[in-house]
Amino acid sequence: MSTSNNALTLKQILLGISDSLNEAQNHLRNVKPYDEFGRPNTLYTLPYLDFNLQVEAEFEKETSTEPTSAVAGRTAALSQAQSFQKGYARSLAFKPVASVSSDTKETNKVTSTISGRFIAVVPNEGLPQMIINATPKATSNIHIYDIDVEVFNAAGEKISDALVEFNYNQQKTEALNPSASLNHGTAFLNTSEIRTDANGKAKTQVKVDGVDFANGNILIIEVNVGNVLTKISIQK
């Protein structure tokens, strides 16, 4: 199926606008607050962007010839089942500018307008940034560590009933111990999920393999609440 080079899908058009908007935001964000003479620069933000595009939606239908010998070998039922596929292929493309093509085809063109708005979403939905403070503490058993977690936000508010997830990061552990022979699965977590109490605190335990512990290998544990992530390391 041949279409003009400037034919785009609706997805490509919208993603192109989005990428350009991100580039503009990054440029404005990196503008220095003062010029070389110490005078304040004018700073801009893009809270939203309205767009209005006039595009041409083109439905193309190309004809083709099928050899008679290929048709003769089919049964009547198969020919009937595949008759809707024989003789043409379909494609729907959007073109900002009407184009002229020399291909032999039947076209139905509809000119329409696409309007919309890209809205800048404030990070963390406008709420203060969430912070995870995770601290490993040794216990009386040298192979077991307590992991104390405290969840709060940038305003100092304790986050209660937050789901805290604990995960052993095997890939990073192996990267930090390239010459060691690790016993995979050594990080046995007492629990992988727990909710914070009224003071925004939670606790779990991790059991380290005795051989890995004795060899001084570094163990990486990830602690996250939603998309906020922190990492801790445990070592002899």
The enclosing domain of 152 has a CATH number of 2.60.40.10
Cα-based angle 113, 114, 117 (whole degrees, multiple of 5): 140
Same domain for 82 and 131: no
Check whether residue 147 and residue 85 sit in a common domain. Answer: no
Give the dihedral sign, CA 224/230/233/234: negative
Number of domains the chain is built from? 2
> Taking 70 as the threshold, does the pLDDT of residue 14 lie above it?
yes
Structural domain contains residue 212? yes
Residue 84 inside a domain? The answer is yes
Q: Does the structure show a pLDDT above 50 at 81?
A: no
pLDDT at 83 exceeding the cut of 60 = no
Q: Is the residue at 208 inside a domain?
A: yes
d(CA 191, CA 91) in angstroms, rounded, equals 53
Mean pLDDT within 133-145: 87
Tokens 């192109």, residue? 16
Which H helix or E strand runs over 22? helix 10-29
Radius of gyration of the chain (CA): 31
> 168 vs 79, which has greater pLDDT?
168
**Nearest-10 Cα torsion for 96, 98, 103, 107:** 90
What residues make up the domain containing 206?
126-234
In a domain, 188, yes or no: yes
Domain boundary, last residue among 82, 97, 119? 119
Q: Which of residues 119, 140, 159 is at a domain's end?
A: 119
| Amino acid 182: pLDDT | 62
What residues have CB less than 8 Å from 168, skipping those under 6 apart? 185, 187, 189, 206, 219, 220, 221, 222
Instruction: For residues 147 and 106, state if they share a domain.
Output: no
Which range, of 147-151, 173-177, 194-198, 217-221, averages the lowest pLDDT? 173-177
Domain boundary among 93, 119, 145: 119
Q: What are phi and psi of 114, to 5 degrees?
A: -110, 120
pTM: 0.52
Tens digits of per-residue pLDDT, 95-121?
665 445 545 455 556 677 888 898 888
